[in-house]
């Protein structure tokens, strides 16, 4: 579904990605330390940043350098490491806002409540996003991304900063998403967090990637 070909990125003379090649079908995990290039790779795929050279091909069509809004319309959705909800809206309103891309308001709200059930946060549906814990915010971000009905989900460090209980909750949700046939790239610091979720796992260090 997705191919990254000879992708490189240079920031102010610093090489962040070095000739990265990657094929994504199913759930793919990428692990490595901070600064290894994981987030930059996801942002380039999502259209948030442009590569210095190389290509990104999605469903047979080159999308290198296309604006993020257009990439999202094509079916690629990103979950950022730092949640970005509408803080003054409730959980269900945040999710409904994402559904509004393709649904009318009544249907979007109905689907948003259903998504709350899928995420296991029914009890928080009317809670303002500003009052949520870190783990709850992470679940909300995943729900908002899923509400766009993506073909490919990009998850940047979805386990970062979570306690054991919330790590297990997020892992279960991702396994359920996988069963629905959505493809994904999931990044993490450690391989252990990815092994029970992904089909293939790659290590990234110094901007290079290799299959584990």
| DSSP one-letter code for 149 | -
pLDDT at site 20: 96
The single residue listed with the structure tokens 């290198």 is 64
Return d(Cα 175, Cα 165) in angstroms, integer: 16
Q: In angstroms, how far is CA 76 from the centroid of its own chain? A: 9
pLDDT at site 118: 93
pLDDT at site 211: 62
Domain count, the chain: 1
163: tokens are 């306690």
- Find the helix or strand (DSSP H, E) in which 186 lies: strand 183-188
Q: What percent of the chain shows pLDDT beyond 70? A: 99
- Find the helix or strand (DSSP H, E) in which 205 lies: strand 200-205
Q: Which residues of the chain have pLDDT under 50?
A: none
pLDDT at site 212: 53
pLDDT at site 137: 92
pLDDT digits (tens, 9 = 90+) for 32-74: 988 899 999 999 999 999 999 999 999 999 999 899 999 999 9
Domain at 111, CATH number? 3.40.50.300
pLDDT at site 34: 86
Length of the chain: 212
Q: Which domain holds residue 111?
A: 2-211
């Amino acid at each position: 579904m997705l191919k990254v070909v000879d992708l490189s990125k240079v920031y102010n003379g610093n090489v962040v990605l070095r000739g990265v090649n990657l094929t994504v079908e199913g759930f793919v995990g990428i692990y490595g330390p901070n600064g290894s290039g994981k987030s930059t790779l996801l942002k380039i795929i999502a259209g948030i940043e442009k590569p210095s050279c190389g290509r990104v091909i999605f469903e047979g069509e080159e999308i290198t350098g296309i604006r993020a809004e257009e990439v999202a319309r094509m079916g690629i959705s990103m979950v950022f490491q730092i949640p970005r909800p509408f803080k003054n809206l409730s959980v269900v309103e945040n999710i409904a806002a994402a559904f509004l891309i393709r649904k009318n308001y009544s249907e979007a709200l109905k689907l948003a409540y259903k998504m709350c059930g899928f995420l296991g946060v029914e009890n928080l549906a009317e809670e303002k996003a500003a009052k949520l814990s870190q783990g709850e915010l992470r679940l909300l971000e995943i729900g908002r991304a899923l509400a766009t009905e993506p073909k490919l989900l990009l998850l940047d460090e979805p386990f970062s900063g979570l306690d054991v209980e919330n790590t297990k909750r997020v892992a279960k949700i991702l396994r359920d998403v996988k069963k629905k046939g959505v493809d994904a790239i999931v990044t993490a610091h450690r391989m252990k967090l990815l092994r029970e979720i992904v089909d293939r796992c790659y290590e990234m260090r110094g901007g290079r990637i290799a299959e584990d």
